[in-house]
Structure 1
Amino acid sequence: MASSRSGWAAPLYSLMLSILVLGPLLGPGYLLLRDAVSTPRSYFTDSALGTTDAAARAVPQDALIAALSTVFDGGVVVKAILLLALWLAGWGAAQISRTLLPTAGTPAPLVASTVAIWNPYVAERLLQGHWSLLVGYAALPWTVVASVTLRRTGRWGWLAVCLAAAGITPTGAILAAITALMCGIALRARRAFVLRDYALIGLILAASSPWLVATAVSGSGATGTDPAGVTAFAARAEPGLGTLGSLAGLGGIWNSDAVPATRTTVFAAFGTALLLAVVALGLAPLWRRRRNPIIKGTALLAAVAIAGPALAATGPGLALGEWAAVDVPGAGLLRDAQKWVALAMPFYALAAAAGVAWAGARLRNRWLPAVAAALAVVIALPDLIWGVGGQLKPVQYPSSWSAVAAELEDADGDVAVLPAGMFRIFPYSGASPVLDPSPRMLPLDVLQTGELVVAGGSVRGEGTRAEAVEQVLMAGGSATELADLSVGWVLLERTTPGELGASDTSLHQLSVAYVDDELALYRVPGDIQGSEPTNNLAVGAAHLLWIALLVGGLGWAIFPRRYKP
């Protein structure tokens, strides 16, 4: 009976912590914060499938939400996935400690859960709006556990599930792939390349197929990205800490506005010291277990995940990154260097668990050091509680959006949006700029340049046709020019500041389809030139392969068949 209770302790504790973090967001409304956009309904547009000229950064995430929002409210879907991600991150951290430290007892895995959920990486990615990245983050400890399970039992199912779940975004797919390959190499020792290694590579490619195929079909990854993004998105030193110290404390995101209040003062150094003290407590106990290849592998991965982004933020690192951005296809995916710090989490959680287990054995009291360590981790970031100090809360969209979406059902042509740019400040969205919700809110493709405005300048996007359309509108171009660019509609978002240029001249040539205090929708007259067709069949097949891996892997895990090549 006691064993059964201890088995439930970690998932229940992780769920409690996750609710404490997300609390306000779980009420009615939608997530709309910086890069995060949830809407009542999303659609299977070319943008959702990643086949436009912009990089396929939200693939297969957007298509998944489009599918689920045909049955459930899209806002509920996103909040449920986010809650599931945090919960599984904590539970997975507990499982990795149970797997690699089987004698640690119940308190140690709970400390591992605390480290995985309650840290600056989670806080900063929540505030930046990277909810789907946290799915990949959550998959990492489970990927380690699944790799060990594969080695011990020959069962592939859970590893397939982990890779597919992390593959909800390209970054998540790469994070899980690196972790799985590290485990595969560590467990393979000195044996030659075997069938199991080829099978692992096959699973990784299947999990990544939606964005790989979308990139190949659209050609969006064939050209370089703006080198200005390398410096703009480099890891950042926080107060009282250098870049290396910030990264070691699982902080240092590029956007200084997307951080909890305590990370904007010298308290950041105190909080980092507390977190690292908890982790450091386990270094000696883990050193004594260094013959375990997974422990060595996760330690090496953590060191590289921290040192790599720190080096990338130096002069030579930035120069190398700028060269890669221009000359290496797909290098733009690497430019937000701090996101790779997620790879350190499994080792941090494992070290924290090992430390409190060791201290508990010395004190002959397992709970005392565990409670002290968990409190230290929480005190290190006190304002993560309740929506990161209340910054994470749902919004309500005006009914105008639903009316415009209904107007565009079964319509032709793409949608151009005013004011210029991709970010908005609506009366209902708070003070921080938020990503324009129109591409996910409307049933037609919404043209976006991909240009990002950051401190000190802007980073050019890949949306060349959208850029051409924006130039026509800013110059007051003709309706014919818009039609030649396959634009059938122009949406004016009236309650957000932004550049309008001479677009009034263009709008006066269009017919009004809908107008109220929030939005105005204009119809471009005449024949609309169709945009260049894309091979959505191949992309759709890749999405189906990804779903098959996720669902099939789950069935494979629940009803396993032993297979050991």
Structure 2
Amino acid sequence: MEIYNEVSLAIIVPFLILYAIYRIDPRYLVALSLILLISSAAESAVGNSAVANDIAIVFFYCLSAGVVLIIVDDYIKSRKPRGNRLKSALSGLYAGISFYVKRHRRVIAEFIFPSVVFASLSLLILGPLLYPGYVLVTDMVFGPRAPLSGLYGMSAFIGGGNALSVFDYLLYFIMPGWAVEKIYLFLILFFSGLTMFRFSRHFGLSGPSAYFSSILYSVNPFVYARMLAGAWGLLFAYSLVPLAFLLFIRLVDLKEMNNLIRKAAETAIVFSVLAVFDIHTFILSAILCVLYYVVMLIHSGRRETLESLVRSMKAVLILLAFLVLLNLYWLLYSPYSAQNIIGSFNFLDAIAFASSPTVFNNTMLSIAAMYGFFRTGYPYPITDFPSLIVIFFLFLLLSVLGFLLFCSERKRGPVTVTLGAAAVISVVIATGISSPLTAGIYTFLYDNVPLFNGFREPQKFVALLVFAYAFLIGLSILHIQSFLSQTGRRGRYRGVIQIAAAIAIVFILISPFIYSYMEVNSFDGQLTSVQYPSSWYRAEAIMNDNTTDYSVLVFPWHGYMYYNWSKTKFASPFNSFFRQTVIYGGQDTYLSGQGDTSLYSPLILSVLKERNSISHLGNLLSLMDVKYVFLSKSADYWNYSFLYRQSDLKLVENSSTCALFENMHPVSRAYIVSRIAAVSGYPQLINASSSVNMLSYAWVISSSVAISKQNYTNGSYLLLNSTKISDADYSIRTPGFLGLDSRNYLVFIPPSGYDSGWRTSPALIPYVSENTSSGIASPGYLVYQITGAPSQVRVYFAPFSDLLYGYVVSLVSFVILVAAVFIVPVIRVRRFGLASHLFKRIH
């Protein structure tokens, strides 16, 4: 028996005996379980993940036993049983549960039972993926630590994900990284089913039809392909789209224009969560809401008063105001981000990310069948069993039937028309340039609609198509149920009709599992849980012994690659593994054009080109504050054997999975030199590293320099002590008397490479930006001319100050809106009970 089972029995059995004899309050057991939860978090924080897991399991057992005892105790007290207490307690278990079910029947039917169903479905699908370990695939990369590098505004793209990085950072204090990842994976499938169920029930879909809509929304080729691609952020946002759309519908409902502030607040909160996980899904949901609002206004016609229409517009304006406040922390920087990222896309990217003809070599058919993901090579159910196309045509037929039957209905008509229109739009856009029927429309949108090219891959629009299928097919099932129910009440073939109806409905309910059977089979075994190699942890321990502020250079220089200890290809995990500033390849092998996001890429690529003639790489890397070079023995690592030949790199760790080299040259985040050295390009800079100490000069790149006339000699330099306040703020101590030369230059190496947003206090003259007109550029650091003799210089990233205002405003707004939605109605909880309050809020 496992240790956690023994401990659980040792706690629960004595407590049951004490309860039976002395009627001890069951809440003590719940309180004990909370203490165990805190203990588990504490053990996880200090690195004892195995102990933390065992304590967490004991917590679950104790909490479950405590809840059951509370139900039993509630029943016993309400009935005031007599006789033997032990007999009363045991006989009251079943009666207590029955009493609770009868008392909260509607809540159980609408929330608790569906939650159990979709939680079970999530566990069934994920299966072995929930074991300890990391699921590493393409863009889904978790590690032992949660980086905050994007928080300061130094990354190329600033979006809602900054809030997610902070949330993950806090979660890592109470549980290991792999547990955080597994919770996200579980919630993706759980929320997909539950939110679609609530959306369906709101529009009158009965049990079987609502459950079908929820199952299809959770189990389909779109979710399957995106999970294999590691797009967990997109899928998490996708799982909340039905909830966001439902809240918007309730907000602008012309019949119930009360509590606008609270409705707008909860709608804005959910939409902001979409932006946190995936900005594209946020935009797709916004498109859906705009479509619905237009359809609703057209559908209402003259039936509604002008006052109702004005109040509806007022609700939309309040929602927009709340959204701006909640998302100000990234909206302030979005123009700069859009220019950096979206501005680099061109039509070659549209070709590279075009939807693929997965089904019968037809792109439009593939999109309509919920396939068409641009990355090829994944095994799909329909490629193994082409006959599954019959199920797709069944889905298509039922969708059209549901649209035709309910498009003119007063209550369900607007949402039916909206989702029908969204389905058509998504097929057209997702097909894109891959079909002559849609290429012209897509090209026009790509060239003329602002930010449209930011979607990069049009197949993301299939998310709206899946939503439409799920709801419209649910409407058809609802109609079929009603028709068969009326037909089966009379006639001599009533029994046959009822049996046939039951068989048909059961087949329709299980059809999503057949159509996407690979997803149900734990994604056909293509995803596995793995642990990072122990040698990586040894290398990290060696680097952690050096407490100075330095960077780590990682090879091979790729953005995505296969690792010899994992069966999948995924993005560089080093920023989520090492505590130090990591310089790694940012090249996206899926991009058609320039995809390397690393600012040091030109220098590193030049090094790799000249690797056979380099023997003093450590000297060159001192310009990047690189103290260690980490070589992962993956992909084409044999092309990096030149590292072993470097005279100034010391091999300190070597295994079958990695090698770690220490730079024997001194490095520092900041230093002072007395001379500027200009080179014509990176090859000349590399040549200089073989004959001169690179810290002797502040090196700059200038196209006007003649290569043959440059002679360099070692000069004076002074390494400075810098205190890292944050990644965006450094305090550098400089000597009052420099003693190098009459003119001195401060060289500062930012953790993210050169960026014009860095400032100094007191203000120093930036050498590079002062001479940009003459074609001078920096190889990755900042150079300032020092005037006077300051004893301390503060170097900070100025854009972070603007972002900080946005963070404060968004955080305060979030707290106020959460209070308006959840805390203010607490009086209703005390008056009517928690269960009925939760049901009313969800319903």
Give TM-score, length-normalised by structure 2.
Answer: 0.60
CA distance in 2, matches of 1:547, 1:203: 12
Q: Is contact 1:162-1:176 (8 Å) kept?
A: no
Q: Which of 244, 267, 280 does residue 171 from structure 1 map onto?
A: 280
1:347-426 alignment, distance < 5 Å: 347-364=468-485, 369-409=504-544, 411-426=548-563
The residue number in structure 1 matching 2:717 is none
Deviations 1:182-221 (A, max 9, x none): 4444445584694333333234445554554455566633
Aligned-pair Cα RMSD in Å: 3.5
Q: Is contact 1:56-1:215 (8 Å) kept?
A: yes
Deviations 1:147-190 (A, max 9, x none): 12223342224312321221222223323333344444444558
Deviations 1:261-286 (A, max 9, x none): 44465245344334334434422322
1:456-475 alignment, distance < 5 Å: 458-474=592-608, 475=610
Q: Which of 30, 35, 38 does residue 142 from structure 2 map onto?
A: 38
The residue number in structure 2 matching 1:27 is 131
User: How many pairs were matched up?
Assistant: 556
Which one-letter code corresponds to 1:441 in the other structure?
Answer: F
Query: SS of the residue aligned with 1:223?
Result: helix
The residue number in structure 1 matching 2:423 is 302
- Going from structure 1 to structure 2, the CA distance change for 1:267 and 1:552 (only over 3 Å counts) comes to farther
1:270-281 alignment, distance < 5 Å: 270-281=390-401
Which one-letter code corresponds to 1:90 in the other structure?
Answer: G
The residue number in structure 2 matching 1:199 is 318
Q: Is contact 2:381-2:515 (8 Å) kept?
A: no
Q: Is contact 1:160-1:550 (8 Å) kept?
A: no
The residue number in structure 2 matching 1:94 is 197
The residue number in structure 2 matching 1:161 is 269
Which one-letter code corresponds to 2:571 in the other structure?
Answer: L
Which one-letter code corresponds to 2:471 in the other structure?
Answer: L
The residue number in structure 1 matching 2:582 is 446
The residue number in structure 2 matching 1:111 is 212
- Going from structure 1 to structure 2, the CA distance change for 1:371 and 1:288 (only over 3 Å counts) comes to farther
Which one-letter code corresponds to 1:556 in the other structure?
Answer: A
Deviations 1:412-469 (A, max 9, x none): 2443321121122223210x32212112212234334532224xx8542151513224
Query: SS of the residue aligned with 2:554?
Result: strand
The residue number in structure 2 matching 1:66 is 169
- Going from structure 1 to structure 2, the CA distance change for 1:295 and 1:414 (only over 3 Å counts) comes to farther
Deviations 1:365-415 (A, max 9, x none): 686554221112221122211321121221111123333444455542443
Which one-letter code corresponds to 1:276 in the other structure?
Answer: L
CA distance in 2, matches of 1:415, 1:395: 24
Q: Which of 525, 530, 537 does residue 749 from structure 2 map onto?
A: 530
CA distance in 2, matches of 1:250, 1:204: 31
CA distance in 2, matches of 1:508, 1:549: 57
Shift of 1:328: 8.7
- Going from structure 1 to structure 2, the CA distance change for 1:261 and 1:347 (only over 3 Å counts) comes to closer
Shift of 1:553: 4.7
The residue number in structure 1 matching 2:250 is 149
Deviations 1:242-294 (A, max 9, x none): 21121112211011224534446524534433433443442232224277323
1:218-367 alignment, distance < 5 Å: 220-221=340-341, 223-225=343-345, 227-240=347-360, 242-263=362-383, 266-267=386-387, 269-289=389-409, 292-314=413-435, 333-364=454-485
Q: Is contact 2:234-2:281 (8 Å) kept?
A: yes
Shift of 1:146: 0.7
- Going from structure 1 to structure 2, the CA distance change for 1:248 and 1:324 (only over 3 Å counts) comes to closer
Query: Mean alpha-carbon deviation: is it higher for 132-141 or for 145-154?
Result: 145-154
Q: Is contact 1:127-1:392 (8 Å) kept?
A: yes
CA distance in 2, matches of 1:299, 1:460: 38
CA distance in 2, matches of 1:281, 1:119: 20
Q: Which of 802, 817, 820 does residue 556 from structure 1 map onto?
A: 820
Q: Does 1:79 align with 2:182?
A: yes
- Going from structure 1 to structure 2, the CA distance change for 1:358 and 1:368 (only over 3 Å counts) comes to farther
The residue number in structure 1 matching 2:725 is none
CA distance in 2, matches of 1:267, 1:429: 34
Shift of 1:59: 4.5
Consecutive unaligned residues in structure 1, runs of 5 or more: none
Q: Which of 219, 222, 232 does residue 131 from structure 1 map onto?
A: 232
Q: Does 1:437 align with 2:573?
A: yes
CA distance in 1, matches of 2:620, 2:586: 21
- Going from structure 1 to structure 2, the CA distance change for 1:54 and 1:358 (only over 3 Å counts) comes to closer
CA distance in 1, matches of 2:107, 2:502: 18
| Greater gyration radius | 2
Which one-letter code corresponds to 1:536 in the other structure?
Answer: F
Q: Does 1:3 align with 2:70?
A: no
Query: SS of the residue aligned with 1:389?
Result: helix
- Going from structure 1 to structure 2, the CA distance change for 1:115 and 1:57 (only over 3 Å counts) comes to same
CA distance in 2, matches of 1:445, 1:324: 40
- Going from structure 1 to structure 2, the CA distance change for 1:436 and 1:293 (only over 3 Å counts) comes to same
Query: SS of the residue aligned with 2:459?
Result: helix
- Going from structure 1 to structure 2, the CA distance change for 1:270 and 1:403 (only over 3 Å counts) comes to farther
Which one-letter code corresponds to 1:440 in the other structure?
Answer: S
CA distance in 1, matches of 2:389, 2:634: 40
CA distance in 1, matches of 2:535, 2:801: 33
Which one-letter code corresponds to 1:202 in the other structure?
Answer: A
Query: SS of the residue aligned with 1:522?
Result: strand
Give TM-score, length-normalised by structure 1.
Answer: 0.86
Which one-letter code corresponds to 2:169 in the other structure?
Answer: A
Shift of 1:30: 0.7
Identity %: 19
Q: Is contact 1:224-1:328 (8 Å) kept?
A: no
CA distance in 1, matches of 2:585, 2:634: 21
- Going from structure 1 to structure 2, the CA distance change for 1:480 and 1:506 (only over 3 Å counts) comes to farther
Tell which has more relative contact order, 1 or 2 (C-alpha 8 A, sep 6+).
Answer: 1
Query: Mean alpha-carbon deviation: is it higher for 3-12 or for 36-45?
Result: 3-12
Query: Mean alpha-carbon deviation: is it higher for 491-500 or for 80-89?
Result: 491-500
CA distance in 2, matches of 1:546, 1:369: 51
- Going from structure 1 to structure 2, the CA distance change for 1:11 and 1:29 (only over 3 Å counts) comes to same
Consecutive unaligned residues in structure 2, runs of 5 or more: 1-101, 302-308, 486-497, 670-747, 759-796, 826-843
Which one-letter code corresponds to 1:452 in the other structure?
Answer: D
- Going from structure 1 to structure 2, the CA distance change for 1:311 and 1:516 (only over 3 Å counts) comes to closer
Q: Is contact 1:24-1:386 (8 Å) kept?
A: no
- Going from structure 1 to structure 2, the CA distance change for 1:231 and 1:560 (only over 3 Å counts) comes to farther
Q: Which of 499, 503, 518 does residue 657 from structure 2 map onto?
A: 518
Q: Counting strand residues as a fraction of each chain, which structure ranks higher?
A: 2
CA distance in 2, matches of 1:54, 1:451: 15
Shift of 1:37: 0.8
Shift of 1:503: 4.9
- Going from structure 1 to structure 2, the CA distance change for 1:223 and 1:280 (only over 3 Å counts) comes to closer
The residue number in structure 2 matching 1:12 is 116
CA distance in 1, matches of 2:350, 2:645: 36
